[in-house]
Structure 1
């Protein structure tokens, strides 16, 4: 904030940090009645922007273009502009951007006789089995109350959850094959405990009881403090030979009733600028939200940031622009994974999930 105010001496920024629950509870009514902040990270769910658009509570962003004085959307991570665009108008920018990488325990790999971390999803599956020994698990796979680990596995196996038209994709042959592969690894081979929450998966890896975990940059310092002989690498490439990982974002939007629309957009331009994103990334360990910083020398010099930054261009958003996305996840996808890992056939689990997804999205095939 100090850098922005120094560059814009006539603008003062007062910042308040609040929990997501508080923001998501109070901000909708505040903005609807012309109260609340001029700019806010409106939710941890990027799809929440749609609700603010429906109530005319957010300001369309027009100060776009090249250079640090404008909001350079051409350099944003893949999918982020589309995620915040409705009827051709942009209503938000990423407040931050995080990719997922593969964390691995070097000591457990060495004990299992595995020299290098996996570079393909097939190697990751084989390693998970080999590393499951002596009371230790090959991988900590959370399926509820978590950052999305299972969707990454589906993408790597060539599958998906929802099509571009908002219809279920869990019954495609590629989706079912991927769910079969990883479902069997958990249910039959025991490579991960069943039903882990995100916090439980983190604790398992932190305690040295799991050899791998797919996680974001926020986890690195905690694992290092726990004494894990930590390695972090890109998520292995999928069956098509291409990289794919999750991109996690929170939307930063402007109140439609702000008295300072120009100044608010100037702040968004600063926040998403190359200069600010480089500084933010180095201070937090998060990758920048811009693709033109992936090869930045200062970021490359940081062993943690460099891995996450290198995957910005490969990142995908989870259920972007999907109607009732939160319910698609909670009412269809999470229960489907829970059933498969507990022995329900993939055919039965995906059939039920597909019906629920199509009902929630309004798909008519």
Structure 2
């Protein structure tokens, strides 16, 4: 009996020793952290590409998992609600238009302290990065962008005896008259939103807002640029809105052959190539207005929520997605344009026949950024400008009404 008891005690001691030896290795096992990333719902091609890039990130960072969520509707309303309710994603998309308000609300993590020399801050295009700076801090790094360029139907141009694209707005109006009623119903497709008109306001020295974020787009200088649009639509009758021809976008107007020219962004290239492969088109820089080059630039950044409990891991994700390797993977198919100069050079988009006019525009483009009260500015402009375009009221009256209404709303929010 004593021999059996001794053997049992020995076995127990061995087992205890074995588990004691195993314990340190279990306690030192790396912990996996899950980062939540939110963005708006894009095309299936965009979603598939993003998931591929995220898989590459996870392969290189085995202790970080990314839970990606696409928010299909009311994106910024959802994000703002979650920020207030302390349920925000760790990392999320932020459009330049919405950036001034969120940067001013102390809900985003300043990223300056995370930047290392290897991240190569100077590699970003300044005109893009500047949209995400506030009070001497950087709150986001731009993931991609697009300017606007002139898309024109080569077959329609040949039929009208036109051999090259217009280089000035006066030429564009002349071309538009010559092209109207030929192969296409209209010469030019016009998008009336402020997002497509702001650079015309600035062409004569006008401004969208002043230093206090109040609307100033109804100034005499601003009205000069907008009058070009109204005259072409009402007097020349050579331009059309998307609603005039039963389409949903400028790209669709152009692809369906309703217009011979349209001003669109990089997103139109894969759309037209895939949806309307029979269209033979080319691109050019937006024609000058008042002897000044102009276009718009739309840019989106990755930002970090200030409330995230995983700041180091969130930065690892941002630095990869906006770093040279991640950005090259994201923009390598031509779906989006890179915000890093070195990546753009590697991909050769400045030499691409269709994309080079878009790349050229980044140096002189007007960002779609209109202060902290963007909804008041954009909504009032859009509502009144389309009314003026349709001849329901004079342009000056419409814009003064829009400016006054916007400023009343802004004053109430301050």
* Higher share of residues assigned strand: 2
The question of whether the paired residues in 1 share the 8 Å contact of 2:111 and 2:138 is answered with yes
Corresponding residue number in structure 2 for 1:50: 101
Corresponding residue number in structure 1 for 2:363: 313
Q: How many residues align?
A: 353
SS of match in other structure, 2:270? helix
Whether 2:85 is the aligned partner of 1:5: answer no
Among 385, 390, 400, the alignment partner of 1:342 is 390
Corresponding residue number in structure 2 for 1:189: 236
**Looking at both structures, which has the greater relative contact order when contacts are Cα pairs under 8 Å and sequence separation is at least 6?**
1
Among 226, 230, 249, the alignment partner of 2:281 is 230
Q: CA deviation at 1:168?
A: 3.5
Q: Provide the C-alpha distance between the structure 2 equivalents of 1:38 and 1:85, rounded to a whole number of angstroms.
A: 19
Corresponding residue number in structure 2 for 1:359: 408
Q: CA deviation at 1:157?
A: 5.1
Q: Provide the C-alpha distance between the structure 2 equivalents of 1:90 and 1:123, rounded to a whole number of angstroms.
A: 41
Could you list the runs of 5+ residues in structure 2 that have no partner in the other structure? 1-53
Whether 2:88 is the aligned partner of 1:39: answer no
Corresponding residue number in structure 2 for 1:98: 146
Corresponding residue number in structure 1 for 2:12: none
Among 257, 261, 276, the alignment partner of 1:212 is 261
SS of match in other structure, 1:240? coil
Among 5, 17, 29, the alignment partner of 2:81 is 29
Whether 2:227 is the aligned partner of 1:180: answer yes
Q: CA deviation at 1:53?
A: 4.8
Superposed CA offset, 1:173-194 (max 9, x none)? 3322222222111012112225
Corresponding residue number in structure 2 for 1:277: 327
C-alpha spacing 1:314/1:275, structure 2 compared with 1 (3 Å): farther
Whether 2:111 is the aligned partner of 1:61: answer yes
SS of match in other structure, 2:119? coil
Q: CA deviation at 1:6?
A: 4.1
C-alpha spacing 1:219/1:84, structure 2 compared with 1 (3 Å): same
- Give RMSD over aligned pairs: 2.9
Whether 2:67 is the aligned partner of 1:14: answer yes
* Higher share of residues assigned helix: 2
More displaced 10-residue stretch of structure 1: 306-315 or 354-363: 354-363
Q: TM-score, normalised by structure 2?
A: 0.75
SS of match in other structure, 1:303? coil
Q: CA deviation at 1:84?
A: 2.6
C-alpha spacing 1:222/1:194, structure 2 compared with 1 (3 Å): closer
Corresponding residue number in structure 2 for 1:120: 168
C-alpha spacing 1:49/1:173, structure 2 compared with 1 (3 Å): closer
Q: CA deviation at 1:20?
A: 4.5
The question of whether the paired residues in 1 share the 8 Å contact of 2:151 and 2:262 is answered with yes
Q: CA deviation at 1:156?
A: 4.1
C-alpha spacing 1:29/1:174, structure 2 compared with 1 (3 Å): closer
The question of whether the paired residues in 2 share the 8 Å contact of 1:105 and 1:212 is answered with yes
Q: CA deviation at 1:116?
A: 0.3
C-alpha spacing 1:248/1:92, structure 2 compared with 1 (3 Å): same
SS of match in other structure, 1:15? strand
Q: CA deviation at 1:95?
A: 3.6
Specify the structure having the higher radius of gyration (Cα): 2
Could you list the runs of 5+ residues in structure 1 that have no partner in the other structure? none
C-alpha spacing 1:48/1:251, structure 2 compared with 1 (3 Å): same
